[in-house]
Chains A and B, each alone.
Chain A
Amino acid sequence: MENKLHKVIPIQPVPYSRSRQAGESQTVLDHIVNDFPDNPAAMQYFYDLFQTVYCLGEDVPHEGLLVGTTCIQAPEELIYAFGATPMRLCNGSYHYDQRGGDFMPAKSCSLVKATLGMLSSDNIIPKIGKPDLIVNPTTCDQKKKSSVMIESLGYTVFDLEFPNSKESEASREYWQRSVREFAVRLRELTGRKLTRKNLKDAIRKIGRAQVAFRKLHNFRRISPSIILGKDAFLVTNAYFFDNIECWTEAVEKLNEELAQRELDGFKAVQSKAPRVLFTGSPPIFPNLKLPLLIEESGGVVVTDETCSSNRMLYDMTAVDEWRVNDMVDSLADKYLKPCTCPIFTRNDDRRRRLLDLVKEFKADGVVYQAFAGCQVYEMEYRSVAEEFNRAGIPMLYIETDYSPDDKGQMSTRIEAFLESLKNKKKRQA
C-alpha cells in the first residue's frame, strides 16, 4: 500500500483567548467569580476588566506616553504630572514565568522571571503596548540586574536610584535628589514642564484613589468580614493597569455597597472563620494561589502587607507648602520613609506595621509567602517570626513559586494551619 501524502495543514494561529496563557487566567478568574457566593455587585466591573484584559487579551488604553514601572517606589504622581501614564509591569503569569526561565538563572524569583518573560514576548498581556520608558528602581538584586536585560530586549530603561537604607539623613537626601533627576528625565521624555498646577492635580488624582482604597481597607476591619480577600486583591491588582479615574470610581461604588453591607450586618464568611493577615512576596493575578487556597479552606484574608496591594496605595502624601519644590520632596519622602519593603537594611518598620495590622484587623494568624529565590523575604522571615512568637501570633511560612504543581501540598498545609487557628480561638473563648 502506498502512503498517501496528505497536505500539511499549518497550525492556525489561535486567538489569544484560546491560548494556554489565557486559559491560565480564565481558570483563576472563573474560580474567583463562580466558586464563592455573594460576590459584591460592584465587583462585576473588576471581573469584566480582568476578563477583557487577561482572558480576551484586549487593548488597554492609556493617555499620553506610557511609562512602565517595576516597583512601587517610582513616583507615579510625577508621571501623571508630565501627562504620561504609569503602569506597573510586575507580572503574575506562570506562562511568562516559564518563558523568562529560558534566559534567567534557575533560582531566580518568579516575579522577575515573569516580568522579563512578558517583556521578551511579542504579545504582551495585559496589552498595554510598548512602554516609552521603563523605570526600574534599584531595589532588590534581581530587579537591579534585570535593568540591563530589559534594555537588551529593546526598551528604554531609567534606573531610579533607591537607597538601601532609610535611617540616615544622607539616604533621604539621596532619594530626594534621585526623584528630582527622575523628574528631569521625564521632562526630556515628554517635552513638558513640571508646573505647580499639573503636579497638584496629579497628587490630587492619586490622592483620591488612595482615599477610596483606604475606605475599602477600613471596611475589611469589620468582623465578621463583609468582603473576601480575593476581591480586594483583584481590586488592587487592577490598579496596575486600569485607568485611574475609572478605577477610583469603581472602588467608590464598591465602597458604597460595602457601607450598605455593613449596615445590613452582612456576613461574607462564617463568624468563626479564621482571619488571616497575608504578607510577603506579592500575589499578582493570575497568581492568587495562596489567598484563594486560604479562602477556599474557610479562612478570610482580612488585610495584607504586600506591594501588590496594601503597600502600593496606603501611604498618603502630606505637603506643607504647595510649591513645586516642596511637593516633589514630599513625594520623595512618602515613597521612602514609610516603605516596609524588605530590601532595606533594617526592618523595624515592617515588624511594627505587621503587629499593628494584626491588632487593628483582629487577625488570628499570619501567612507569610516568600517566592523561591527571593533572598530578602526569606531572610526577613526569621526576625518576623521572632516578633510574632513574642506576641503570640501564629504564623505559617510558605515558600512557593508560580507553578501550580504544589497546590495540593499547599492546600494541606493551609488547611492544617486554619484548623489550628480555629482550635486556638475555641480554646481562648
Chain B
Amino acid sequence: MKPSKPPRPSVKKAPTPTRLQAVRDAVNQVDFNRFRFWFQLVAFVLFVYGGYLAIDLGTHLPFFSCGYNKEGRAGVCYLLPLQHQLGRPLAMLFTAAGLAILTGFLLFALWFIVLNKGWCGFVCPLGTIQDWITALRRSLGVRYSKYTQGQFKQLTKIKYILLALMILIPLGVGGGIFSRDMSPPFCLICPARMILPLFTGDFSQFTVDFSSMTALVMTVLGMAVTGLFLVGSFVKKRFFCFFCPMSALHYLISKPALLKLKKDGDKCTRCGDCYRVCDMEIKEIADDVKTVDIMTDDCTLCLKCVASCPEPGALKATFCGIPIFEATEAGFIKRMNKGCHDGK
C-alpha cells in the first residue's frame, strides 16, 4: 500500500508571535548570568550604601543587610533584632514584648514570601560577595571544590544547629544563664559583620574584645569564621550559604511563598545539567522526578538550574503560580552555545 499524494497549497510566511509570547521568549532566552550579575550588583549597592541616601527599609529584612554597617545600611537583617528581642529578660517575653517578637516575625515572613529564597540568590550582599570571590577564582583558573554526597548530608545539618543556637543562646542570656557578652550570638560569629562594614570604611569589627572571657571567645570565633569564610568561598561556590541559619529559617516558612521553583518530572531526562551548575550541589534537583516543589533547604533560588535545563518545561520558576522563567531549548542553546550559528 502506498500513501497517496496530499495536495500542495501556496507558499506561506511564518506567523508573527503574539506580544506575550515575544516577552516570554525574551525572558526565557535571556543571558542569565549577565542578568543575575547586574541584579546582584544593584541590590548590593542599594543595601550596603543605601543608608547614605536615607533609604531605610526596616529591620525585618530576610537577608544579610548587616546592621553593623551603621552608616550605609538601607535596612537591617532580621536576625539582629530577633536576637536582641529574644535576649530580653525572660519575664519580659511573656508581656507585650513577646507580642512584639511575634509581630516582628510576621513582618519578616511577609518580606520573605515575596521572593522566597530568591533573596539569597539575588539580593543578599554576602551572597553577592561570595559570587564575586567565585568569579575571581574562575578568572585565576583554579578548579572549584565539591563535597562528596556523604559530606553533603552531614554538613547540611549545621545550619539547623546554628539556627537552634541562635534562638536558644539569647533566651539563655535573657534568663541569666549566659553573659550578656554572648548576645547576639550569631552576629558575633557572622562573617557579614566583619566584611560588610569594610565597604563603608568601617574596620572596627576586625577587633578582638578582651573585656571579658566570653567576649574574647566570641570575637576570636568571629575572626576564625571570617578567615574560614574567605578561604571557603574561594574554593567552594557559595560556601557560607550552606551553613546559614537564615537559610534554615527561610526553609521552615517557605510553604506559602510566592516565588517557587517547580519541576515536571515527566519531562526530566535526568541529564544532571542542573546538578552540574548548582552552586549548592543539590542532587535532588536532578534526580528527584516525583516532587513538584523542588526547592530544598539548601537552595538559594539562584535559578541557574532553570537556565541550564535543555528540556522545555522541566524546570520553571513561578510567581503566584504563573511561570516567569522556564527552561526552553532555545534558551539553553543560546546560553550554552554562545556564538553558535543557529540558522533561525
Q: Which residues of A are at the interface with B, using a C-beta cutoff of 8 A?
A: 35-38, 169, 204, 207-208, 211-212, 214-215, 218, 252, 255-256, 259-260, 263-270, 273, 296-298, 315-321, 323, 325-326, 329-330, 333-334, 337-338, 349, 352-353, 355-356, 359
Contact = CB atoms under 8 A, between A and B. Distances in A.
A269 B3 CA distance: 6
B11 A359 contact: no
A266 B3 contact: no
Contacts, number: 123
Interface string B1-20: 11111101111111000000
B14 A263 contact: yes
Given A215-B343, A263-B12, A318-B273, A270 B3 contact: yes
A318 B339 CA distance: 15
B343 A273 contact: no
A207 B339 CA distance: 11
Given A263-B12, A315-B269, A208 B337 contact: yes
Given A37-B5, A204-B339, 11 more contacts: A207-B337, A208-B337, A208-B340, A214-B329, A215-B343, A215-B344, A263-B14, A269-B3, A318-B336, A319-B336, A338-B269
Contacts of B336: 207, 316-319
B144 interface: yes
Interface of B: 1-6, 8-14, 138, 141, 143-144, 148-149, 265-273, 276-277, 286, 289, 304, 308-310, 329, 332-333, 336-337, 339-344
A338 B266 contact: no
Given A204-B339, A321-B144, A337 B271 contact: yes
Contact of B3 (A37, A259, A353): A37
B270 A349 contact: yes
Contacts of A315: 269, 271, 310
A212 B310 contact: no
Contacts of B2: 35-37, 296
Nearest to A214: B329
7 contacts: A265-B9, A270-B4, A296-B1, A297-B1, A333-B276, A337-B271, A352-B289
Contacts of B309: 318
A320 B276 contact: yes
Contacts of B337: 204, 207-208, 211
A204 B338 CA distance: 9
Contacts of B149: 169
Contacts of A252: 343
B266 A349 contact: no
B14 A259 contact: yes
Given A37-B5, A269-B3, A321-B144, A352 B272 contact: no
User: Sorted from nearest, which 7 A-B pairs have the closest CB atoms?
Assistant: A318-B273, A338-B271, A337-B272, A267-B6, A338-B269, A320-B277, A318-B308
